[in-house]
Chains A and B, each alone.
Chain A
Amino acid sequence: MRLDQDHATTCARSAKIALTENEAQKYQSQLQELFAWVKQLSSVDVSAVEETAAVRAAYLRPDEPVTDEALVQTLVGAFSDKEGTCAKVKKVL
């Protein structure tokens, strides 16, 4: 696995997190230690494992549309500026 000098900063950026130089240095050494520890997993023979699904299959509710008028009103009511069931949000930039 690649864990070069810029690794912590690059991975943090991909997660939209900015690191200071001090943080990057600190994380770099901690990540190197952690991934060295995790490397023990590669010694496990997993050739017989086929399924990697969740702990237990979820019971999914029927895929049917539901209208909850009270919820609509609660959500719209949370906004100070609205027109009908449309809420006005602040601009991102």
Chain B
Amino acid sequence: MKTIFDITQSVKDGSVTAREVVLESLRRIKELNPQINAFVETWSEEALQRADEIDARRNRGEKLGPLAGVPVGIKDNILYKGHKATCCSKMLANYVAPYSASVVEKLLAADAVIVGRTNMDEFAMGSSNQTSVYGPVHNPVDFDRVPGGSSGGSAAAVAAGMVPLALGTDTGGSVRQPAAFCGVVGIKPGYGRISRYGVVAFSSSADQVGVLTNDVSSAALALEVLCGRDENDSTSLEDAVPPFTDKIHQDIKGLKVGMPKGFLDDLGEEVKEKILSAAQTLQNLGAEIVEVDVPHAKYSAPCYYIITSAEASSNLARFDGLRYGYNNPSATDLNASYELNRAPFGEEVKKRIIIGATALKAENYKECYLQAAKVRELIKQDFAKAFEQVDVILTPTSPTTAFRLGEHKDNPLAVYLADLYTCQGNIGGLAGISVPCGEDKLGLPIGLQFYGPILQEEKILNVAYQFEKAL
């Protein structure tokens, strides 16, 4: 599928209609979704009606928005008024959004066309999209492999050419890691850049909305539309949003790219080779590679699992059948009512809630949650110091390429370690982008990640765009 720049340009100049673009997207979904399972629901008629409205406005000579006619998939934890939003959980099987998320309002205001909701790990908890109540997503590159997660449906939908743009959410790498596994671009802006109003909360100090696209310029355009202050989200930032689509074209001569000491030590040969080759490409473009030290970053994964699980145990308390979620009428007392109503949570969600409840127990709080929170502060300080020396930091997105469906079924710790390089960004509130940098011997995509300081997304978009062009 074309980039979103090509699509909007064609819709605006009339060389193609929004209806034709949306029809092609729906055709691809119909053809490929039975094998890939990226979409859990499509809204075909509504999407076509909206496309017709956009075409009619163009025919009347009205100015169209920056995403005119672009078909978009939204992750199933993002609310779209009047449409189901289930977080791919039995708990919310019949939940219909009573209002739209701010990101959905922004997409619609930009004349995008939302075609459906995408598959995900239940409540965004997982790195392989195998915990969805709708069944796993299959990686479009190899149907026997996972697409990554938790925004696996969004990444697979873009990789399979079903949509040129999909929204995901990223709490520990859930946009960037599936982007790497599926061979597309995924960006999580810094904490607070995009409103989370209308996005189902998992871990409030780490959650961010991100975008998945086929190329960096499309990601830049989508971010321009989505970033910015929202009165309905007190954590959204007031700072002005730069023109990302202009900034990406700057050359990167003299740009200082940090490579953290020891980050490549435990990597497999093929991923390591591609990362080193990427560093060489950046040097050829005039960037300077500088070794940086982020000594506490190695603690990011355990830190992440304690903090986010603790926040999840609190955020998901609302799914008790009384405020939200499944209600079992057979209970005879209040405790039984809660337990019966919360029974539909899947295995991974229950486990994270229990981890969180354990970490927050009075006798464990200091040793467990508070210690993790303090280590988090050290990790943030490490990155802040590193960004005094360099403009961006380069890492692998994931230590491996996409693994086989069911491969780590009895070893959840192995799956947790797949987030090693990405969860640092959420722990530190950094902006991070994953861009394809090659393939392994099996033809599976490898992702390269750039980190930038908060409020400097333009730097990582710029370096990622120049790298993409040079590859």
Cα of A11 to Cα of B364 in the assembled complex, Å: 12
Q: Is the CB of A31 within 8 A of B355?
A: yes
- Interface of chain A residues 27 through 67 with chain B (CB within 8 A): 27, 30-31, 33-35, 37-38, 40-42, 44, 46, 49, 51-52, 54-56, 58-61
Report the nearest B residue to A59, measured CB to CB: B238
Q: How far is the CA of A17 from the CA of B236 in the complex (A)?
A: 33
Residues from 1 to 40 in A contacting B, C-beta threshold 8 Å: 1-2, 7-8, 11-12, 14-19, 23, 27, 30-31, 33-35, 37-38, 40
Q: Is the Cβ of A44 less than 8 Å from the Cβ of B320? A: no
9-residue interface stretch from B108-116, B227-235, B277-285, B435-443:
B227-235
Cβ contact of A55, chosen from B191, B339, B367, cutoff 8 A: B191
> Contact at A58–B375, with CB atoms within 8 Å?
no
What is the CA–CA distance of A58 and B338 in the complex, to the nearest angstrom?
33
**Known A49-B377, A74-B98: A14·B357 in contact at CB below 8 Å:** yes
Across the interface, do B358 and A52 meet the contact criterion of CB distance under 8 Å?
Answer: no
For residue A86, CB closer than 8 A to chain B, the reply is no
**CB of B336 to closest CB in A, whole Å:** 9
Q: How far is the CA of A41 from the CA of B306 in the complex (A)?
A: 10
**Contact of B337 with A by CB under 8 A:** yes
At the interface, yes or no: A93 with Cβ under 8 Å from chain B?
yes
**Is the pair A56, B339 in contact by a Cβ cutoff of 8 Å?**
no
* Residues of chain B in range 325-344 having any CB-CB distance to chain A below 8 Å: 331-335, 337-340, 342-343
Query: How many of chain B's residues touch chain A, expressed as a range?
Result: 35 or more
Of chain B, the residue at the smallest CB distance from A92 is: B322
Tell yes or no: B133 within 8 A of A by CB: no
| Interface presence of B194 (CB below 8 A) | no
Smallest CB–CB gap between B377 and chain A, Å? 5
- Max chain B C-beta neighbours (<10 A), residue from A1, A8, A33, A78: A1
The answer to whether A44 touches B378 (Cβ under 8 A) is yes
Task: Say yes or no: is B136 at the interface (Cβ < 8 Å to chain A).
Answer: no
B456 → chain A closest CB, angstroms: 13
A93 contacts B332, C-beta separation under 8 Å? yes
**Which of A37, A46, A78 has the most B CB atoms < 10 Å from its CB?**
A46
Shortest CB–CB separation between residue B204 and chain A, in angstroms? 8
Cβ of A33: which chain B residues have Cβ within 8 Å of it? Answer: 413
Bound-state CA distance A42–B238 (Å) is 37
Is there a chain A Cβ closer than 8 Å to B380's Cβ?
Answer: yes
Q: Which residues of B contact A78 (CB under 8 A)?
A: 98
Q: Does B305 sit within 8 A of A, measured CB to CB?
A: yes
* Interface contact A8-B354, CB-CB below 8 Å: yes
For the complex, is B13 an interface residue (Cβ under 8 Å from A)?
no
Contact flags B367-378 to A (C-beta < 8 A → 1, else 0): 110111111111
B205 at the interface (CB under 8 A from A): yes
| Docked CA distance A38–B356 (Å) | 13
A1–B237 touching, CB < 8 Å: no
Instruction: Classify chain A: how many residues form its interface, as a range.
Output: 35 or more
Report yes or no: B331 in contact with A93, Cβ–Cβ below 8 A. yes
A15 contacts B333, C-beta separation under 8 Å: no
Query: Which B residue sits closest to A52, measured CB to CB?
Result: B373
Bound CA span A68–B296, Å? 47
| Chain B residues within an 8 Å CB radius of A93 | 331-334, 337
In the assembled complex, the Cα of A44 lies from the Cα of B356 at a distance in Å of 21
Q: Quick one: which of B191, B361, B413 contacts A56, CB cutoff 8 A?
A: B191
Is the Cβ of A55 less than 8 Å from the Cβ of B98?
no
What's the nearest-Cβ distance from chain A to residue B383, in Å? 11
In the complex with contacts A38-B306, A55-B191, A12-B357 CB distance below 8 A: yes
A30 touching B313 in the complex, CB below 8 Å, given contacts A44-B375, A93-B333: no
Instruction: Report which of A31, A52, A55, A74 forms a contact with B354, defined as CB distance below 8 A.
Output: A31
**Interface check B353, CB cutoff 8 A:** yes
Cβ contact within 8 Å between A1 and B368: yes
Residue B302 CB within 8 A of the other chain: yes
Interface membership of B192, Cβ < 8 A: yes
- A15, A54, A74: the one within 8 Å of B353 (CB): A15
A/B interface sample: 26 pairs, CB < 8 A: A15-B313, A15-B353, A16-B339, A17-B339, A17-B343, A30-B351, A30-B412, A31-B358, A37-B302, A42-B367, A44-B299, A44-B378, A46-B378, A51-B377, A52-B374, A52-B377, A54-B205, A55-B192, A55-B380, A55-B454, A56-B429, A58-B192, A58-B235, A61-B231, A61-B234, A93-B334
Interface residues of B (CB under 8 A from A): 98-99, 191-192, 205-206, 229, 231, 234-238, 296, 299, 302-303, 305-306, 313, 317, 320, 322, 331-335, 337-340, 342-343, 345, 347, 350-351, 353-358, 361, 363-364, 367-368, 370-378, 380, 412-413, 416, 428-429, 454
Return the 3 tightest CB-CB contacts between A and B, nearest first.
Answer: A55-B429, A46-B374, A16-B338
